[in-house]
Amino acid sequence: MRVLHFYKTYYPDSVGGIEQVIRQMCVGTGRLGVTNEVLTLTRAHDKFDFEFEGHRVRRVPLDFEIASNAFSMAAIGELARMAEEADVVHYHFPWPFMDLAHFIARIRKPTVVTYHSDIVRQKHLLRLYQPLKHRFLQSVDTIVATSPNYMASSQVLERYKEKARVITYGLDKSIYPAADQALMDKWRARLGERFFLFIGVLRYYKGLHILLDAMAKLDYPVVIVGAGPIEMELKEHAERLGLKNVVFLGALGEDDKVALLTLSYAVAFPSHLRSEAFGISLLEGAMYGKPMISSEIGTGTTYINVDGDTGLVVPPSDPQALGNAMRTLWENPDMAAAMGKRAEARYHELFTSSQMASSYTALYHELVARHVGLPQAAQA
C-alpha cells in the first residue's frame, strides 16, 4: 500500500500541529506496512528529496503566497507524477491551491481528505473560494473529521456527512525524546517548581492576549514556548500590563519541550476561535499527564479536555473565567494531580498513534477496494 500525502508545509521547514499529525500518520501506518510519501513546498534551495523517519519527503519550490495560500507550479506536475505511483492520495485541508492542483493534475486515484479545520479568518476570499472548495470536497472519496465535536459543529462537514467519518488525531510518545535530567534541572532553576505552560505557534487564534489579560490580576508563573507572527505584539502587550511572571522562551527544540512538559504544573491553552480545530500541544499535555485549561469553541479541544474530569473548560475570550480556572488548579494541587492522571488515561484510551494508524490503514484498504469495484466510467 503506497500513500501520497499532500500539504503546503512539512518538516523541517515547519513543525506545527498538522505537520506533527502527518508525521505521526506516516510513522504509525508505516509500521503497518504502508509506504508513505509527503509532497510539500519549501523556500529552501536544496535538499528537495530526503528520507525522514522511514518515509520519503519530496519538496518543491514555493513560488508565492496570497493570504497564507501557498502556490507552486512545480507541485502540480509532481502531484500528477507521484499520484501515478500511489494507491491512495491523502490530502490535508484547508489549502485552496491543493484543491486546484487536484483538478489540474487530473487525479484519478482513491482520495481521502483529513479536514483539519474550517476556514475562519479570510471571509471575503472564502466567498471566492467556495465554488472550488465544494467541487473539491464533492470529488474526493472520503472526508475525515478529527473529532466528533468538530463533525457536529462544522457547517461544511454537515453538508458532506454521508461521506464523512471521524478519526481522531493520535500521538506516539515513544518518538518523543526522553526527558533529560540536566535540561530539567536547568529549567527548574530558571522557572521554579510550578508553572503554567503554553506551547504552540503564536497565532491570532491562540488566545494568548486573553491569557495575558488574565495574568494582570494574578501572579502565577506562566511559560510561553513558541514563535510566530504575533510574537512582538504579545510581548508588547505583556510589557504594557507590567507582567513580571510571564516568560517568553521562543521556539525550542523537542528536548527542551519535553523537559518543560514534564516539569509543568498544568497546561494553559486559551485558543478562542474555531481555527483551533483540535490542539496538538493540548493533547501533548494530556499525554504527559497534565491537567488542562481550555476554552469551549465547539472543536476538538473539548474532546481532549473534559471539563471537571481532565481539567477545566472556560468560555472563550473571558480573562476573568480563565484566571479563575488557573486559581482553582493552583490552589488545589491534589485535584490538579488527579485531573492530570485522568488526562493521561484518556490519551491512552482515545488518542494514541497506533489507534489513528490502524483506522487510517483500514480506510486506505477500504478506498482501494471500493475503487477497484467501480465501473471505469465512475472512475473517470
The DSSP code sequence of 85-136 is H-SEEEEEES-HHHHHHHHHTT--S-EEEEE-----S-HHHHHHHHHHHHHH
pLDDT, tens only, 246-262: 999 999 999 999 999 99
Residue 119: what pLDDT?
81
- Identity at 324, one-letter amino acid code: N
* Residue 127 neighbours by CB under 8 Å, 6+ apart: none
How far apart, in whole angstroms, are the C-alpha atoms of residue 256 and residue 180? 8
Residue 120: what pLDDT?
73
How far apart, in whole angstroms, are the C-alpha atoms of residue 172 and residue 157? 28
76 vs 42, 70, 141, 263, CA distance in Å? 14, 12, 20, 45
DSSP code string of 22-58:
HHHHHHHHHTTT-EEEEEEEES-SS--EEEETTEEEE
* 51 CB-contact burial (10 Å; exposed 0-12 / middle 13-18 / buried 19+): exposed
Identify the bridge partners of residue 352 per DSSP, sorted by sequence position: 171
Q: Give yes or no for a contact between 224 and 248, defined as CB atoms under 8 angstroms apart.
A: yes
Tell me: pLDDT of 377 over 50: no
Burial call 100-130: b when 16+ CB within 10 Å, e when fewer = bbbeebebebbbbbbbbbbbeebeeebeebe
Residue 124: what pLDDT?
62
Lowest mean pLDDT across 101-105, 119-123, 174-178, 279-283? 119-123
pLDDT band at 236; cut points 50, 70, 90: very high
- Per CATH, the number for 174-351 is 3.40.50.2000
- Angle (deg, nearest 10), helices 280-287 and 333-350: 110
pTM of the model: 0.88
Calculate ∠ Cα 71-75-79, nearest 5°: 135
Which CATH superfamily groups domain 2-172+353-373?
Glycogen Phosphorylase B; (3.40.50.2000)
Residue 199: what pLDDT?
96
The total of other beta-carbon atoms located within 10 Å of residue 236's CB is: 11
Local structure of 288: helix, strand or coil: coil
Where, residue-wise, is CATH 3.40.50.2000 in the chain?
2-172+353-373, 174-351
Local structure of 244: helix, strand or coil: coil
pLDDT, tens only, 177-194: 999 999 999 999 999 999
Tell me: pLDDT of 375 over 70: no
73 — phi, psi (to 5°)? Answer: -65, -35
